[in-house]
Structure formats: structure tokens, C-alpha cells
Amino acid sequence: MLQELRTRPKQGVIDQKMFINGEYVDAASGETFESRNPATNEVIAKVAKGDASDVERAVRAARKAFDEGPWPRMPVAERSAILMKVGAGIRKRLSELAELESMDQGKPISESSHLDIPRSAYNFEFFAEYIKTLSSEANPVDDKFLNYTLREPVGVVATISPWNFPLLLMTWKLGPALACGNTVVAKPASYTPLTTAALGEIMNEAGVPPGVFNVVLGPGGSVGNTLVGHKLVDKVSFTGETVTGATITAEAAKTLKDVSMELGGKAASIIFADCDLDLTIAQTIRAAYLNQGEVCLAMPRLLVERKIYDEFCSRFQRAAEALVLGDPLDPRTTMGPLVDRAHFKTVTDYIEIGKKEGAKILFGGEKPALEAPFSEGNFLKPTAFVDVDQKMRICQEEIFGPVVTIAPFDTEDEAIAIANDVKYGLAGTVFTTNLSRAHRVARRIRAGLIWVNCWFVRDLRTPFGGMKESGIGREGGVRSIEFYSEIKNVCIAL
């Protein structure tokens, strides 16, 4: 399938099947749904539309591979070597996968080829290496007993991911889940199923046994929900909206499954007058508009110390207006379209809500003038509101698009209070050259990830996850291993 991609979309519509037990298969019902290129709204794929019977097939295959197959019992070095080959397989196809991701999601090719796809390969390589370094603990209680621990895979893991970083976020789960010896049923978002499905071919080439990695495609409400509730699934790792996370947590509770929840955000950048303004503008522009603002870790609330507020706003506006909207496959493009027409409507509805609430548009708020076929795409100019009240919906709710609010503050306490006054607690950034203040403010923001004078730096060893309604649990490094494995104590009488 991947070979076809170079000449897409001229070559026609991709026939995207599911991947179950090492083979590409149609939905049992034969039904399909359309996936569109958000830059043009042309159909690029007819995607197998799974239902409960397809979930059943996939879960049974994963269960059999776990209970009877070689994967969980394989020596760690052997499993690690296979996962390194998966990483290499992704790197070998970097340009095709980047193109596929950009056509399916809308992100600029410069991002998919430098960020999404290389990081997807690294998600396998990192955990393939990491798993080899782990040892167990021994607790000799007294001279009559010896306790030691065994780390074992959990079983069948359901991995459910969103559409904003499709392959990157799915592999962030697959890398550690597979390294620990689990088998997986993966469910990518319906807007962006193509790169996760393409992994099947790469897994087969690398020597991953049939049934270890499976992909089901179709609506979250039916396919995803059936997967979460399935008795033979042992754990659920989910990334997506807070409301969906709550639904999944409730469904998983019926069969007492442990869940990992990486959910929504509405983070604030606190920008002090003593910051390095060149650096701050560069970082806050990325944090606002990278991936069209469709980033859970984005910083859509900019809080700026009043002394530099006017200067910040004018420089931020200049930088935003220098972003290049257009064909995501053109390397010069720095901002693509929103993922889907429905999401475009949600985001533009928020712009109307903001205006009605009395906020003022500083720039943007409309579609850019682009030539056909991109005039048909879901493009929206980078947008900023000023004159906001923090109680407004545009300051409280996750918009998940290129729309930010900018507000002045006078004191450190005031800025921290505003930053914390949302239901989310995923991330935050602080821009200052005052070392003590940086540490002080970082400590007081109620969020799982804080960046000082930078943004989106993600070392895979570090804990990742949110507080409040932004999530449950942490992944990353040893915490991923802890989530995707069970620990067993063995006590021996001597």
C-alpha cells in the first residue's frame, strides 16, 4: 500500500483495510467510510468501517497471541531487536508516511517529516532499548524468607488515539506496550486512520508475530466503546477529549480495567517583562499555532505583564501574520488546514462566541484567500482575541484550533491565579530571566508539565500527563513500563 502513496492523490482513492492477525482485512459487514484531505476536502480513502464483530476478531487474535504465542515469552533482547526493526521500518518509509500523515491530517510536511514520523520511530527505539535496562527488586525479609519481584506483561491492551498527532501519539503507546510483551488492539481516530493502519505492513516485515498488533477502524462510539468494554481486554490507554475520557473510564470500570487518560488542556503562557522577548515570541508563536493549534499542550492563553503588553501584542501579531498557510505538502507551508469541516465549524463557532462575549479580534478570525483546490480546504488564519474577561467561554473551554486570547497582568499572584482558573491542568509555560521567579511560578501552576523559556520539549524518560480534568496517571520512561506491566512478588521460604 505504501508504494502507492508517492503519486497520490492522482492515483485514486486508497482502499484502507483493518489489520487483524497479521493480515489486512475488510470490515465483516463490507461497509466503508470516507476519509478526506482537509486541505481540499477531496476523498483520499475509503476506510473499512468496523463494528462489534470486527472488534471481536481483533481482540480474539490479540488474546490468542498473548496466551499462546511467542511474544510475551520471548527473551527481552529478541523482542527488543524486533521493535528496533519496526523503528527502522518507519524511518525507511519516512517520506511516504509523512506525506500520508499530512494528507490525512493537514499538518505541514515540514512538521510531519521532522517531528511526527521520526518521533514515531523513536517511540519504538527508545522503549526497545529501555526495556533491556530494567531489573527487579529483592527483599530478603529475614533469614527465613526471600522476596523478589517479577515484571510481567498485562495482556491485551487497547490503545485509542486522537487525530492531532496520529502516528506519534499511537506509537507513544505501542512502543512501551509491545516492549513489555503485551499484545495490542489499536484504534486510531476516524479522521486520521491511515498511518496507524500502515504500521501493519511494517510490523510484519520486522517479524512481529501475527495477532500481536491489530488495528480496528471505525466510529469511536461503537468500535472504541466495544473495545474498551471487552472482557478479554486487560488495559486501556486513551488520548483524546476529556468528555470521551470520562465515558471510557466509566465503561472500563464495569470490567475493572485500569486506564491511562491523556486528555484535554487549556494551558497558559505567563510572560514576564524581564523575559527574552525574541525567544518568547518565537516560542509562544509555536505554542499557539503549531499543528494549527490542534495540540493538547498548546498555550492558547497568553498572560503578559502589563509593562510589555503592547509591545508583545504587536510583535506577536507580526510573527503570526508571517505564517504561511497553504498546501500542506509544500515545504514552505507553516500552517495547514483544520482536520475536518465539522471541527472547522466548532472552531469558527468559538470565534463568533468570543465576539458575542465582547472580546475583540486583534488579528485573524477568517479564512485566508487561497487558490483552488485549497480554497475548498478547512483553512483558518491564525487568530487572537484581546480585551477578554477570563470567565468568557473562549478563555475557559478547549477550542483546539489556531485561536488564542491575550491578556495583561500586574502581579505574579494574579497571573498564577488566572493560569490555574480552568478545569484543565495539563501544561504551562513561564517566560522570565529571573531564576527564582521561574522556579517559584513553576511550582505554583497546577499542571503536569511546566516549561520555562521553552515549549514542547519532550524527553521520553520524563513523566507525561495531566492534573485535574486533563488526565489520570503518567506515562513516559519507567512510568510507561509500570503502566504496561504487572508486578508480581514471589516469597520463598529458605
Catalytic residues: 262, 296
Q: Which pairs from 361-368 meet CB under 8 Å and 24+ separation?
A: 361/385, 362/313, 362/317, 362/386, 362/406, 363/317, 363/320, 363/321, 364/320, 364/402, 364/403, 368/325
- The residue from 26, 31, 241, 274 that contacts ligand NAD (CB under 6 A) is 241
Shortest spacing between CB 162 and ligand NAD, in angstroms: 3
176 binds ligand NAD (CB under 6 A): no
Shortest spacing between CB 428 and ligand NAD, in angstroms: 14
Shortest spacing between CB 327 and ligand NAD, in angstroms: 24
Shortest spacing between CB 56 and ligand NAD, in angstroms: 16
Only one of the segments 146-154, 234-242, 388-396, 404-412 lies at the binding site for ligand NAD (rule: CB under 6 A); that segment is 234-242
Host H or E run for residue 238: strand 235-239
240 binds ligand NAD (CB under 6 A): yes
Three-state secondary-structure class, residue 464:
strand
206 versus 263: smaller Cβ distance to ligand NAD: 263
Q: Can you name the residues that pair with 207 across neighbouring β-strands?
A: none
Pairing of strands 427-431, 268-271: parallel
Q: Can you name the residues that pair with 383 across neighbouring β-strands?
A: 403
CB 230 within 8 A of CB 196: no
Q: Rule CB under 6 A: which of 92-131 touch ligand NAD?
A: none
CB 279 within 8 A of CB 271: no
Instruction: Kindly report the backbone phi and psi dihedral angles of residue 478, in degrees, each rounded to the nearest multiple of 5, phi listed first.
Output: -65, -25
d(CA 140, CA 125): 35
Closest CA to 427 of 471, 396, 393: 471
Shortest spacing between CB 186 and ligand NAD, in angstroms: 9
296 versus 388: smaller Cβ distance to ligand NAD: 296
Total binding residues toward ligand NAD, as defined by CB under 6 A: 31
400 binds ligand NAD (CB under 6 A): yes
- The residue from 155, 382, 466, 473 that contacts ligand NAD (CB under 6 A) is 466
| DSSP single-letter state for residue 127 | H
Only one of the segments 33-41, 54-62, 184-192, 304-312 lies at the binding site for ligand NAD (rule: CB under 6 A); that segment is 184-192
- The residue from 220, 326, 365, 428 that contacts ligand NAD (CB under 6 A) is 220
Q: Which three cell numbers stand for residue 186?
A: 489499536
471 binds ligand NAD (CB under 6 A): yes
194 binds ligand NAD (CB under 6 A): no
Which residues are at the interface with ligand NAD (CB under 6 A)?
160-164, 169, 187-190, 220-221, 224-225, 228, 239-241, 244, 247-248, 262-265, 296, 398, 400, 426, 466, 471
